[in-house]
Structure 1
Amino acid sequence: MQIDGETKIVAILGDPIAQAKSPELFNALFERHAVNAVLIPLHVPPAKLGAALDGLRGIVNLAGVVVTVPHKMAAAAYAAVLSEAARQTGGVNCLRREADGSWTGAMFDGIGFVQGLHARKHVVRNKSVLLVGTGGAGAGVAHALVDAGVASLDLFDSNAESLQRLENALRSRDGQTLIRRSGPFAQATHDLIVNATPCGMRARDPLPIDLAGARPDAVVADLIMKPAQTRLLEDAEARGLTTHLGHYLLESSVEAIASFLRLIP
């Protein structure tokens, strides 16, 4: 990769940022497409998000930013325009810098997750899902699962406000999916079990979901990308359950994000 005065810059903003897999995936994509662009990680604490985004608006050769934990909901407020998926979820995982310095926000987490499942032959239509975590990524996944035609979606989050916000948004849609509240434990009715919380990034984190009641053919998915094999996925494997890794989401959405940023066709 050669960086010169014509290189387009993309940044990924998060706190923490060491777990981010975006730099290796995006930079490999840019090389494959012979695009003069580079993605760099920026460690931005929540209290500094606004200042960081305001400063980045002034960088003319900045194509945009990828947004990760915990900024996806907060960053949406800085966008002048939001995609339909971003409006639905109330969060963004990508902001494109426009010529006038304004931000256009989009959310690719949900479609990336569903496409990742389909790529590995996991059917979601008419299935029953437990989703633990209703923040930015969880909200994106929830709406995409409804779009994909899941029969039921059981939700849990220790943050009552976040849970209520997503529940209200999903119930306001004119869909057939049954929306319910649940606890953070698998039941024999769940075909797909999803952890959309950051719980599992650190070795000392507790298990975010109790899998004791999971059905033998259930699929257990974790959105965490580092470590790739979280404690939840290790527990699922020990129980003989099928697992779905977090990086499948990003792998399935990286080209769509790069296209949104106008870096590839």
Structure 2
Amino acid sequence: MTQIDGETRIVAILGDPIAQAKSPQLFNALFERHGVNAALVPFHVPATSLGTVLEGLRGVVNLAGVVVTVPHKLQAAAHATHLSAAAQQTGAANCLRREADGSWTGAMFDGSGFVSGLYGRGREMRGKSALIVGTGGAGVAVAHALIDAGIASIDLFDSNSASLQRLAQALRARGSGTVIRESVARAQAVHDLVVNATPCGMRPGDPMPLDLADAGPHAVIADLIMKPAETPLLEEAKARGLAVHPGRYLLENSVEAMAAFLRLIAST
């Protein structure tokens, strides 16, 4: 564990809930490996308090920035004075860097981290078909990153029709050639990748986020939830003999880039 002293740079992770967050372990281990005097700590922040908390944190001079998790990613982007290209594209931010004048610069690493995690497991997305269930901040980021990776088609579902329409229109407006369809929360034989980008599965008793009954034997079932490490969706996928891709791969492939964005380690 990093030794905390008066020169420690602080990073906060803001979420509601926050008990599921794996970022403290990964970031603090990274800081130790790099010999950086920094520490990441969890803050349980309800959505109604996010603006108040971010306004207060602007005044903390030794704060490097904040990591943003469920459900704050879309709202966090609105508090940033400047946004990275990915954050502008998705309208969401999962990391805010505190600048010297107290303003926030926002960035989004969920999409690139998710795709890097797929590549790291030998899973190529070019020319493939995906179903994404959930069109909040993480789902938006993953959808855009899959288009960047050359995916051929994306089916989208969200119980919030306004959120679904907003993402579908944004993806079509890119003119990438990727086929974008509004769908149902059910895997189909055509889907090479099925992604749960909702919080369903985080708490005991949550409903299953999607139906795997018609999934093809080649499908990879991905869940963006970090805790539990094996969600009910992934358990069912394994029981059906399907390949699974747990949420930790997204975070594990984002931590170094986020720490570099916060100017705590050198960029690679």
Amino acid corresponding to residue 91 of structure 1 in structure 2: A
Which residue of 1 is the match for residue 169 of structure 2? 168
Which residue of 2 is the match for residue 144 of structure 1? 145
Q: Distance in 2 between matches of 1:190 and 1:3?
A: 48
Alignment of 1:109-258 (within 5 A): 109-258=110-259
Tell me, what secondary structure is at the counterpart of 2:36? coil
Amino acid corresponding to residue 34 of structure 1 in structure 2: G
Q: Distance in 1 between matches of 2:238 and 2:41?
A: 34
| Pair 1:24 & 2:25 matched | yes
Give the number of aligned pairs.
Answer: 265
Displacement of 1:145 in angstroms is 0.3
Q: Distance in 1 between matches of 2:218 and 2:172?
A: 29
Q: Distance in 1 between matches of 2:167 and 2:83?
A: 18
Tell me, what secondary structure is at the counterpart of 1:5? coil
TM-score normalised per structure 1: 0.99
Amino acid corresponding to residue 217 of structure 1 in structure 2: H
Identity of aligned residues (%): 72
Which residue of 1 is the match for residue 102 of structure 2? 101
| Pair 1:86 & 2:87 matched | yes
Amino acid corresponding to residue 55 of structure 1 in structure 2: G
Which residue of 2 is the match for residue 63 of structure 1? 64
Q: Distance in 2 between matches of 1:254 and 1:141?
A: 16
Q: Distance in 1 between matches of 2:175 and 2:116?
A: 23
Task: Structure 2: state its 5+ residue gaps.
Answer: none
The structure 1 segments of at least 4 consecutive aligned residues displaced by more than 6 Å after TM superposition are: none
Q: Distance in 2 between matches of 1:169 and 1:58?
A: 35
Tell me, what secondary structure is at the counterpart of 1:111? helix
CA deviation map 1:117-160 (0-9, x unaligned): 00000111110000000000000000000000000000000011
Q: Distance in 2 between matches of 1:228 and 1:123?
A: 23
Q: Distance in 2 between matches of 1:123 and 1:172?
A: 24
